[in-house]
Amino acid sequence: VIDLTRRTALAIPLAGLAVAAVPHSARAELYNDQQFPDITPHPAFAQTYREARGKFLAAARHAGAAISSQRLPALLGLDGQPLYMDFAWIGPADADVVIVSMSGTHGSEGFTGSAVQNDWLTSGNAAKLPPRVASLMVHAVNPFGFDRNLRVNENGVDLNRNFIDFSKPNLPDNPIYDAIHAQLPDIGAGHEDVIAQYNAVIAAAVVKYGEWAVFDACGRGQYRHPTGYGFGGTEAQWSSKTLVQELRRLCARARHVVYIDWHTIYPNGDGRQVFLCFNQTNDPLYRRVASWWTAQAIDRDIVNAQEGIRRPTRNGLAMWGVQRALAPRIDVAGAVVEFSCDPDGLVSSPDADERGEVWAQWLLANKDDQSLRSEFVRTFFRESAGPWRRGYQNGALAAARSTYARATVGAAVWARDNIAATPGKLLYFSAFT
């Protein structure tokens, strides 16, 4: 558990401790693939944003998709070329149900998300869509973070905390995080002593506030500390505005959206999925999601158990932003789907979360640097979110095929139901349960 990539769920000291508690000998058996990994890559996976985009566009063309691209203004990739959020629409333009699947909301987490999109596009699925159902793939919601192997965007913002109401006079507060942040040292050169200091601050906060309160403070989003955990920004970001604008435009004729936001990473077994459904528990949309992926998969208690701790409350999730933007004519049901990537020795170290946080901050502060050190840290983040081990890649692709297939059947049923949208309660903030 590495924080940085795992931060969707957020940063967190605790899940790291749970993994660290497994003895090394036991872990070696659990993660056998890492002892003697097959590093022959699956062709759907890429090692850079540029390579991932090339594969995505080629696969989308091959599938006969209608492609549109939005360029991130002003900024360039490490290779000096422009960065884009790309959209590929497959199926009838007037589809009643659109399966929207997105990659790279958390930058480097896009390595796996992009791969499963590519795999869907190259596996003949376009020709098998049910009547009145379309697939819309959004590639690299956060292209800058994807290019730099960061979780956050060009402004250090966690996009999955950025969909709040910025017109309100007061942004959401997070007093426990304010107190923690005040104690954190400057990153400086990101040396080992800084990591130790981070660890000490978090450990002291756990003693003072309790484990879950610290987990929640670091995970729910905060709007005051641009270099801190879970910074949600002080204004709507380009990615957030562009995503909403394009979904409104492209889905204008639909009534229902199946929402899949591909993320990584929890250490629960290579390639296994954890479903974070952000519909309201037991409302009609939630029950529809349960009918696709099973009630167990999205059950709050089961997900909490998978994580080893109750999920944090959250501000400004992208899914809620999309729901608000498309309501009232279109309703949205679905989940953030996390791929689990088993940790390597570094990631599973007792200070993995703080190490990841310090390295991520260092990399953000040195975002155009191409020294060997930067390349090492970037590779670390890519491997954390899209491991090069074939065992991981095969597991993730198999799981994603099932998730897409079930969602497609669900979309067919939804279209056949022939009903108006029922968006339900629209949110900016909520507990997980």
Report which residue's Cβ sits closest to Zn ion: 8
Are the CB atoms for 389 and 38 separated by under 8 Å? yes
Q: Which is nearer to Zn ion, 255 or 382 (CB)?
A: 382
Q: How far is the CB of 287 from Zn ion (least distance, A)?
A: 25
Q: Which is nearer to Zn ion, 33 or 109 (CB)?
A: 109
Residue 320: closest CA among 277, 363, 372, 375: 277
When asked if residue 109 is in the footprint of Zn ion (CB under 5 A), the reply is yes
Residues 217, 205: Cα–Cα separation, whole Å: 10
Q: Which is nearer to Zn ion, 268 or 408 (CB)?
A: 268
Q: How far is the CB of 237 from Zn ion (least distance, A)?
A: 15
Piece in contact with Zn ion (CB under 5 A), picked from 14-22, 35-43, 72-80, 106-114: 106-114
Sign for the CA dihedral angle at 68, 72, 78, 80 comes to positive
When asked if residue 384 is in the footprint of Zn ion (CB under 5 A), the reply is no
Q: How far is the CB of 260 from Zn ion (least distance, A)?
A: 13
Q: Which is nearer to Zn ion, 87 or 266 (CB)?
A: 266
Q: How far is the CB of 6 from Zn ion (least distance, A)?
A: 7
Q: Which is nearer to Zn ion, 255 or 263 (CB)?
A: 263
Q: How far is the CB of 8 from Zn ion (least distance, A)?
A: 3
SS3 for the chain is CCHHHHCCCCCCHHHHHHHHCCCHHHHHHHCHHHHCCCCCCCCCCCCCHHHHHHHHHHHHHHCCCEEEEEEEEEEECCCCCEEEEEEEEECCCCCCEEEEEECCCCHHHHHHHHHHHHHHHCCCCHHHCCCCEEEEEEECCCHHHHHHCCCCCCCCCCHHHCCCCCCCCCCCCCHHHHHHHHHCCCCCCCCHHHHHHHHHHHHHHHHHHCHHHHHHHHHCCECCCCCCCCECCCCCCHHHHHHHHHHHHHCCCCCEEEEEEEEECCCCCCCCEEEEECCCCCCHHHHHHHHHHCHHHHCHHHHHHHHCCCCCCEECCHHHHHHHHHCCCCEEEEEEEEECCCCCCCCCCCCHHHHHHHHHHHHHHCCCCCCHHHHHHHHHHHHHHCCCCHHHHHHHHHHHHHHHHHHHHHHHHHHHHCCCCCCCCCCCEECCC
Q: Which is nearer to Zn ion, 5 or 408 (CB)?
A: 5
Q: How far is the CB of 43 from Zn ion (least distance, A)?
A: 24
Q: How far is the CB of 113 from Zn ion (least distance, A)?
A: 9
Piece in contact with Zn ion (CB under 5 A), picked from 101-109, 135-143, 278-286, 376-384: 101-109
Q: Which is nearer to Zn ion, 91 or 143 (CB)?
A: 143
When asked if residue 162 is in the footprint of Zn ion (CB under 5 A), the reply is no
Binding mask 2-31 for Zn ion (x = CB under 5 A): ------x-----------------------
Instruction: Verify cis geometry, omega within 30 degrees of 0, for the bond prior to 328.
Output: yes
Piece in contact with Zn ion (CB under 5 A), picked from 109-117, 239-247, 355-363, 425-433: 109-117
Q: Which amino acid is at 369?
A: D
Piece in contact with Zn ion (CB under 5 A), picked from 41-49, 103-111, 376-384, 411-419: 103-111
Strands 273-277 and 429-430: unpaired
Q: Which is nearer to Zn ion, 276 or 332 (CB)?
A: 276
Of the residues 106, 220, 255, 288, which one makes contact with Zn ion according to CB under 5 A: 106
> Where in 219-278 is the site for Zn ion (CB under 5 A)?
263
Q: Which is nearer to Zn ion, 109 or 344 (CB)?
A: 109
Total residues binding Zn ion (CB under 5 A): 4
Q: How far is the CB of 178 from Zn ion (least distance, A)?
A: 24
Q: How far is the CB of 291 from Zn ion (least distance, A)?
A: 25
> Where in 385-424 is the site for Zn ion (CB under 5 A)?
none
Q: Which is nearer to Zn ion, 263 or 367 (CB)?
A: 263
Q: How far is the CB of 255 from Zn ion (least distance, A)?
A: 28
Question: Which residues contact Zn ion (rule: CB under 5 A)?
Answer: 8, 106, 109, 263
